[in-house]
Homo-oligomer: A and B are copies of this chain.
Amino acid sequence: MTYCIGIRLNAGLVFLSDSRTNAGIDSISTFRKMIVYEKPGDRFMCLLSAGNLSISQSVREILQVEKIPGPEGEDPITLWNAKSMFDVARVLGAAVRRVYAQDGPALKQNGIDFIASFILGGQIGGEGMRMFLVYSAGNFIEATRETCFFQVGESKYGKPILDRMLTPTTPLDVAAKAALVSMDSTLKSNLSVGLPLDLLVYRAGELAADQVVCIDEQNPYFQMIHSTWGQRLREVFDGIDDPRWDGGDATHPLISRSERYEPMKKIASPGDRVI
């Protein structure tokens, strides 16, 4: 499987991806899922991909030469001359549809769904930073103030922490930390998500990546998060009162059966006492 996170903050963008792919549980490989398209001073774009690897690799390859019609009398729009990230998302959508046209029917014949999804974020010239989630059909949605991050792949294990920690005003480093904690929980729960990780931080307006890091087992910061987070979580958990079953002196009692029990349906064989 895969787990990728893209976050759009006021201060910039954060991207994090794992690198495990699997064709069945007995065929595990390492493929990087992050790719950076950059023309420093002009445009910065980062693409994260999930789904069928043959599809996402083809899309990445085609994306470099994909064109969509430009305005009347102008050149076609590509990754490198697009004037807005919205147009880049359209170019990416066109690349996805081209791969679908090429491979979709044969995949279908073999009972394989055409599954791929992409997080595309970046900034072009004076436009604000934008981030898109592009689906298998080439359609897409954009991150907003209310929903400032996207996930693709195995998203559920690591979503609660992002829901709790991220808002558009979150600083970049804090968001990077949240992404790594989210990834750590996912690595723990799903074997098909694996190291190394690619982490990229982009600062608003810089038009070039700020920090790009490949994180493996030896990375001291990720090791620290891995050990500290679990331990502190345990401490917090232990610090919360256990349930109290009586309404007596407990600060936070559960409703006790004897006092305020709302009965559940109980079934006993005829003649047995139903409590």
Decide: A236 and B243 in contact? CB cutoff 8 A.
no
Q: How many copies does the complex hold?
A: 2
Q: Does A145 contact B (CB under 8 A)?
A: no
Q: Bin the interface of chain A by size.
A: 35 or more
Complex alpha-carbon distance, A99 and B220, angstroms: 55
Q: Give every chain B residue within 8 A of A39 (Cβ-Cβ).
A: 268-269, 272
Q: What are the interface flags for A233-273 relative to B under an 8 Å C-beta threshold, 1 for contact and 0 otherwise?
A: 11111011111110000011111110001111111110011
Also in contact, A32 and B214, with CB within 8 A (given A40-B275, A240-B229, A243-B221): no
Complex alpha-carbon distance, A223 and B253, angstroms: 10
Complex alpha-carbon distance, A242 and B178, angstroms: 9
Q: Which residues A1-59 have CB closer than 8 A to chain B?
A: 32, 34-40
In-complex Cβ contact of A37 among B37, B189, B268 (8 A) = B268
Decide: A178 and B224 in contact? CB cutoff 8 A.
no
Q: Give every chain B residue within 8 A of A160 (Cβ-Cβ).
A: 157, 185, 188-189
Q: By DSSP majority rule, is chain A's interface helix, strand, loop, or mixed?
A: mixed
Q: Give every chain B residue within 8 A of A176 (Cβ-Cβ).
A: 242-243
Q: Could you write out 16 A-B pairs with CB less than 8 Å apart?
A: A35-B264, A36-B264, A159-B189, A160-B189, A163-B189, A164-B233, A164-B234, A177-B237, A181-B237, A208-B275, A209-B275, A221-B254, A229-B236, A229-B240, A232-B236, A233-B233
